[in-house]
């Protein structure tokens, strides 16, 4: 089955350059971190958090460069076999402490949490080429690693429930058909993304916005069904905000592009999926 690809053009580097504080000050001061979040989101209807997409890797123990917004300094793990014994997330890391304080502060716009997908997460703690090779050669090791990552993500999602968030944006630029191929993408959709999405839907009140790369794969693999709703012409993010209380899965176009639209696609998981793990992180038989 052919899976469509989506060419991502979004970049925040220009806005990062406009932050008027040194990076080490932002990551140690909740008020400055909040200002930075609002600055990066100034052209949006949401306030996007966190400031960088490395927070999950930092919770895993990734070493960071304190004086840079490019946070991860060196890979944490040298051998892919070590991924099979990943430790639980450490919620005492400084970035998470500052972030958690910021997520409890008042904002004039709704908060959205941008969660890194599994390949993006792994790329910050180990050479991603090692992961590609290992996943292709050793299905048992792949499943063990995915189960470990899911357990930590489930734990993290429980932490996010205590904050004033209504929606999680899920993106994984590395999980692209032109990078990992259709077979590997199908496996990661079934073993990681279906259980993750189910967990969010079953265990929280969050809505989900899926990056088009993931959404295209879910659609083309017949994992989701879509309903189109006609609306008055408005920006994508405003349309989503108006539906957050009643609709749960959004996607199809990049949320960061925030284009004006007259139709919204709403998605639901199909019941005939064959996810390898259930939403408790246990392997389905």
- pLDDT tens digits, one per residue of 153-182: 999 999 999 998 999 999 998 888 888 999
Contacts of 137 (CB under 8 A, 6+ apart): none
Look-up of token digits 């000050």: 25
Position 256 pLDDT exceeds 90: no
Q: In DSSP terms, which residues pair with 72 in a beta bridge?
A: 64
Cα(111)–Cα(252) distance, integer angstroms: 20
The pLDDT of residue 272: 65
The pLDDT of residue 278: 55
Average pLDDT for the chain: 89
> What percent of the chain is predicted at pLDDT more than 90?
70
Q: Taking a C-beta distance cutoff of 8 angstroms, is the pair 48, 119 a contact?
A: no
More confident residue, 134 or 68: 134
User: For residue 232, what are the CA distances in angstroms to 43, 240, 242, 249, 266?
Assistant: 21, 13, 12, 20, 16
Q: Taking a C-beta distance cutoff of 8 angstroms, is the pair 194, 160 a contact?
A: no
Structure tokens at 208: 């989900």
Position 275 pLDDT exceeds 70: no
pTM of the model: 0.92
- Please, what is the end-to-end C-alpha distance for the chain in angstroms? 25
Q: Taking a C-beta distance cutoff of 8 angstroms, is the pair 215, 221 a contact?
A: no
Angle value at C-alpha 254, between 108 and 103, nearest 5 degrees: 30
More confident residue, 150 or 248: 150
Cα(182)–Cα(20) distance, integer angstroms: 43
Structure tokens at 219: 């659609």
Angle value at C-alpha 2, between 172 and 210, nearest 5 degrees: 30
Position 49 pLDDT exceeds 90: yes
Cα(75)–Cα(82) distance, integer angstroms: 12
For 274, counting Cβ atoms within 10 Å of its Cβ (0-12 exposed, 13-18 middle, 19+ buried), the class is: exposed
**pLDDT tens digit string along 78-109?**
899 999 999 999 999 999 999 999 999 999 99
Position 139 pLDDT exceeds 60: yes
Mean local confidence (pLDDT), 266-280: 70
User: For residue 274, what are the CA distances in angstroms to 80, 171, 269, 270, 282?
Assistant: 26, 22, 12, 10, 13
Position 246 pLDDT exceeds 60: yes
């Amino acid at each position: 089955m052919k899976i469509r690809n989506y060419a991502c053009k979004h970049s925040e580097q220009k806005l990062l350059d406009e932050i008027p504080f040194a990076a080490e000050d932002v990551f140690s001061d909740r008020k400055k971190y909040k200002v930075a979040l609002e600055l990066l989101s100034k052209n949006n209807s949401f306030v996007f958090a966190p400031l960088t997409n490395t927070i999950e890797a930092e919770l895993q123990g990734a070493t960071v460069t304190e004086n840079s917004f490019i946070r991860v300094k060196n890979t944490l793990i040298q051998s892919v076999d070590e991924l099979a014994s990943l430790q639980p997330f450490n919620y005492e890391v400084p970035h998470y402490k500052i972030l958690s304080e910021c997520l409890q502060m008042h904002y004039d716009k709704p908060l959205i949490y941008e969660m890194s997908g599994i390949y993006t997460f792994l790329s910050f703690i180990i050479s991603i080429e090692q992961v590609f090779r290992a996943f292709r050669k050793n299905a048992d090791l792949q499943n063990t690693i995915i189960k470990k990552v899911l357990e930590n993500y489930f734990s993290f999602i429980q932490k996010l429930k205590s904050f004033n968030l209504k929606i999680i944006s899920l993106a994984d630029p590395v999980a692209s058909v032109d990078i990992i191929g259709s077979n590997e993408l199908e496996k990661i959709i079934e073993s990681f993304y279906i259980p993750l999405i189910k967990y969010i839907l079953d265990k929280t009140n969050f809505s989900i916005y899926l990056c088009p790369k993931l959404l295209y794969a879910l659609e083309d693999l017949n994992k989701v069904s879509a309903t189109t709703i006609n609306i008055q012409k408005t920006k994508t993010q405003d349309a989503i905000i108006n539906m957050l209380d009643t609709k749960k899965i959004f996607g199809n176009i990049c949320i960061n592009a925030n284009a004006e639209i007259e139709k919204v696609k709403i998605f639901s998981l199909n019941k005939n999926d064959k996810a390898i793990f259930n939403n408790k992180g246990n392997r389905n038989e």
